[in-house]
Structure 1
Amino acid sequence: MTAARDAFDALRAPLVGARLLLTEQHLWGPAALPVFLGLLWSALSLGLAAATGTAGSLLVIILSFTLAAALIGAIVLVHLLLALCAPLFDWLSERTETVIGARVAPSGDSWLTRSLRATAIGFRLLVLKLALLLVILVVSFMPPIGTVLSWVLIGFTLSVDFLDYPMTRRRWSAPHKRAWLGRHWAAVVVFSLLIYLLLILPGAGGLLLAPSIIGGTWLVCTRDRTPFADAPPTNDEPSPPEPAAV
């Protein structure tokens, strides 16, 4: 699979997720919380945009720093919500696999076991992402390349959760996950940048939270049909043929 195909599929992943959400009733229940959180984020982003538009010229500099601080705080808050809501987001991701026919074997774990695992991994990722945000803060002061790179890195800290849900359910080891991300670097970069741009899009960005979770699962599953494993894989063998695209 070429990098161009990876990039194209990453670009349309949220749209595929939106179509599945609208057409598959089995996704409506698990998607309720992500949709609600998305609506809340959209309302907050509209409020920030309105504040920017109504500010006087004398307050532009102060407001710019205030909005920058607000954006950083909002991103940290989003990361915290991703960690706290990991079991419910994982439920939506798992139901997505069932809908698209990618779940080829049961995990054998109880809902409580999977929930605790998802929460633990969510907070482990939170610590790593907070450390990465410090790096992003430094990189962002090196425009223009640093600015774009910071967008991709911020997007990655958000989108990695959406990509990680199906990987974790398969109990992939950390090296296995990194190898997948490396093989499909174009998909990861485009998906990360897209998630960041959606996040800062006033009003509309939050509406695509649930479709992005679904789309991230679809993106992974159309590139790897590895079944649910009883133990982490010991190597990173090539994946079996991909299923037909949705």
Structure 2
Amino acid sequence: MWHRDALDALAAPLVGARLLLTDRSLWAPAALPVTLGLIWSLLSLGLAASTGLAGSIFIVLLSVTLAAALIGAIVLVHLMLALCAPLFDWLSERTERALGYQVGPSGDGWIQRSWRGTAIGFRLFFLKLALLLVVLIVSFMPPLGTVVSWVLIGFTLSVDFLDYPMTRRRWSAAHKRAWLGRHWAAVIVFSLLIYLLLIIPGAGGLLLAPAIIGGTWLVCSRDRTPFAPEEAAVGRASARHSVAQEGRMSG
């Protein structure tokens, strides 16, 4: 099971890119992620060119100065993800519909959904800031600490892409943690892959939209139910109660 999760995580950005190129229904909601990704790519290319070491970016990342600049850039990316959460969630929802998976009705208007999405985005933002402090600590313990820090940074970047379909189903925090733990191989591989792809100078940002689409596909291909199990159970219990009341009234 874990090896299938790992392989699908490797394929997720490719699946996202292919779907983005072939499904026109995704072009409108993908406009902002593509634009922001293009800006990120141009900035990262300029940074690499200014160092004169664009051909050896992984060596440059070992320097303390550039590592600090990278952390600062990552914090800015996280802030952007929090602010743009409702629009990114729109792309994720359209992706789910394009893939043919069932999307349960939320019952909320666009303003309510936007407010909830932004609030969740900022809760994740502060959680990821705490994780980045852990990254700074473990990064001083190479070589294992370097790999662990890559995975942690990747997780802070990719958790939003995995969270959009979970939040639409109104999963509890415990349910989300259970899913992440159950599919640990997919989470680790997807996190590390997203991090390594996004730091490619001049090209990484263009993978922002495919990453959102790919993360949605990764979650929904493993759980196609529109709501969390506990909510479904409540709905079934309510239905049984209504049927019992109707039976007593007719009797």
If the length of structure 2 is used for normalisation, what is the TM-score? Answer: 0.87
| Deviations, residues 191-236 of structure 1 (Å, cap 9, x unaligned) | 000011012111111110000000000000000011146975789x
Q: Secondary structure at the match of 1:6?
A: helix
Query: What is the DSSP-based 3-state SS (H/G/I as helix, E as strand, rest coil) of the residue aligned with 1:106?
Result: coil
User: Which residue of the partner structure matches residue 239 of structure 1?
Assistant: none
2:226 is paired with a residue of what secondary structure?
Answer: coil
Q: Helix, strand or coil for the counterpart of 1:224?
A: coil
Q: Read off the aligned partner of 2:40 and give its amino acid letter.
A: W
Larger helix proportion, structure 1 or 2? 2
How far the C-alpha of 1:118 sits from its partner, in A, is 0.5
Contact in 1 for aligned 2:171/2:227 (Cα 8 Å): no
User: How far apart are residue 112 of structure 1 and its match?
Assistant: 1.1
Moved over 6 A (4+): none
User: Following TM superposition, by how much is the alpha carbon of 1:140 offset from its aligned partner in structure 2, in angstroms?
Assistant: 0.4
Question: Residue in 1 aligned with 2:96?
Answer: 97
Q: Separation in 2 of the partners of 1:4 and 1:143?
A: 27
Counting only pairs closer than 5 Å after superposition, residues 89-128 of structure 1 correspond to structure 2 as 89-128=88-127
Q: Which amino acid aligns with 1:25?
A: R
Structure 1 residue 66: Cα displacement? 2.8
Report the 3-state secondary structure (helix = DSSP H, G, I; strand = E; otherwise coil) of the residue aligned with 1:214.
Answer: helix
**CA 1:148–1:29: 2 relative to 1, 3 Å:** same
Aligned match of 2:18: 19
Q: Deviations over 1:110-137 (max 9, x none)?
A: 1111111110000000011001100110
Deviation sequence 1:148-189 (CA, Å, 0-9, x none): 000000000010000000000000000000000000000000
* Partners of 1:107 and 1:229 within 8 A in 2: no
Number of residue pairs matched? 229
Q: Matched residue of 1:108: which SS? A: coil
> Which residue is 1:199 aligned to?
198
Shift of 1:64: 3.2
Q: CA 1:23–1:138 in 2, change beyond 3 Å: closer, same or farther?
A: same
Match for 1:42: what amino acid? S
| Partner Cα separation in structure 2 for residue 222 and residue 135 of structure 1 | 31
The one-letter code of the counterpart of 2:65 is T
**How much identity, in percent, do the aligned residues show?**
80
CA distance in 2, matches of 1:176, 1:230: 9
Structure 2: how far apart are the matches of 1:47 and 1:116? 35
Q: Is the 8 Å Cα contact of residues 14 and 210 (structure 2) preserved in structure 1?
A: yes
Does 2:66 align with 1:67?
yes
Aligned to 1:5: 4
Q: Quick one: distance in 2 between partners of 1:7 and 1:169?
A: 24
Distance in 1 (alpha carbons) for counterparts of 2:43 and 2:129: 22
* Unmatched 5+ stretches in structure 1: 236-246
Matching residue of 1:32:
31
SS at match of 1:102: coil
